[in-house]
Amino acid sequence: MSNVWLITGSAAGLGRNIAEAVLASGDRLLAAARNIQRLDDLVERYPSQILPFELDVTDSAAAKAAVQAAVDKFGRLDVLVNNAGFGHMLPFEQTEEAAFRTEFETNFFGVVNLCRAAVPVMREQGAGRIIQISSVGGRLATPGMTAYQSAKWAVGGFSDVLATEVKPLGIHVTTLEPGGMRTHWAVRARGHDTPVMPAYEASVGMMFGVLRKIAGNENADPDRVAQVVLKVAAHPQPPLRLLLGSDALKYLTPVEADRADTAERWKSISTSVDVDASGPVPPLPQH
């Protein structure tokens, strides 16, 4: 029996690649997107397998309606892929409050809204898969990405906790953390005309240069990422988190090593605040 999927942001970027892979595999799909006209060719090719659904993931009522539409059309919901999201690179000081909130609402609360709608359905079924499309940026700190990366950090934490709650119910949660993918994300991230303040040229300005250089030359192939998504959805014991791309491994390895080293160097301070600790608080490390 074919699975029923719900993919957000399915009209473009990685969401489109996943949607095509799902349909080609013979599974059924509620394809959620802000502009469903961009899905017309898929509807033509797979008329009995796909249901386009216009969705703004920041609208919790619409998220519930999307899940219900999948159940009404196909009878169940097996796999939710929270893919919708975007990022803009700009110094925090120059990011307007409304813009920061909009980015966080989409990248984090959009995930929360869809999970809130899907979990009861999957609980009643006794089975389900939730796959979060996050980023290696959910474990890094990149200048200019305060809104995007703080939301992705939140997605990782939320998903880790949610996984502990729903695993006994037969629901698996996996957070995918890719590095760069050839999905035009880098172009959109720099798609504004706001000049960087001189004070941030050495940090955010430098990252703009990196972004320009990698745009169109990203490391990962989104079609191959989509195949991984299919395999993760079918795995009996999928990982809680999965880095995707050799660049993601390269970025994260030294960061994790530095965190471990810092924890070890400051261990005496960490343990010095215990109730049963003896003696004075030791001197702080000098490096």
Question: Looking at residues 110-132, what average pLDDT do you find?
Answer: 98
Contacts of 121 by beta carbon, 8 Å cutoff, 6+ apart: 67, 71, 76, 77, 128
Residue predicted with more confidence, 186 or 126: 126
How much is the pLDDT for 182?
Answer: 83
Bridge partner residues of 6 (DSSP) = 30, 80
Could you tell me what percent of the chain has a pLDDT over 70?
A: 98
The span from the CA of 28 to the CA of 47, in Å, is: 10
pLDDT higher than 90, residue 141:
yes
CB 121 within 8 A of CB 128: yes
Instruction: Quote the distance between the C-alpha of residue 118 and its chain's center.
Output: 17
Q: Which residues are catalytic?
A: 134, 148, 152
Question: Looking at residues 70-87, what average pLDDT do you find?
Answer: 97
pLDDT in tens, 178-199: 998 888 776 676 656 788 999 9
How much is the pLDDT for 137?
Answer: 94
pTM for the model: 0.94
The span from the CA of 276 to the CA of 283, in Å, is: 18
What stretch of H or E contains 131?
strand 128-133
Residue with tokens 């869809």: 114
The span from the CA of 242 to the CA of 264, in Å, is: 26
CB 152 within 8 A of CB 99: no
Q: What six digits make up the tokens of 79?
A: 């796999």
Q: What is the DSSP letter of 273?
A: T
Question: Looking at residues 60-86, what average pLDDT do you find?
Answer: 97
Q: Angle at CA 271, nearest 5°, toward 266 and 273?
A: 115
Question: Looking at residues 236-260, what average pLDDT do you find?
Answer: 96
Question: Looking at residues 203-222, what average pLDDT do you find?
Answer: 83
Bridge partner residues of 171 (DSSP) = 128
Which of 130, 108, 109 lies closest to 6 in space, CA to CA? Answer: 130
How much is the pLDDT for 135?
Answer: 95
Q: What six digits make up the tokens of 165?
A: 């709650």
- Domains identified in the chain and CATH numbers: 4-244 (3.40.50.720)
CA 10, 16, 22, 24 torsion-angle sign: positive
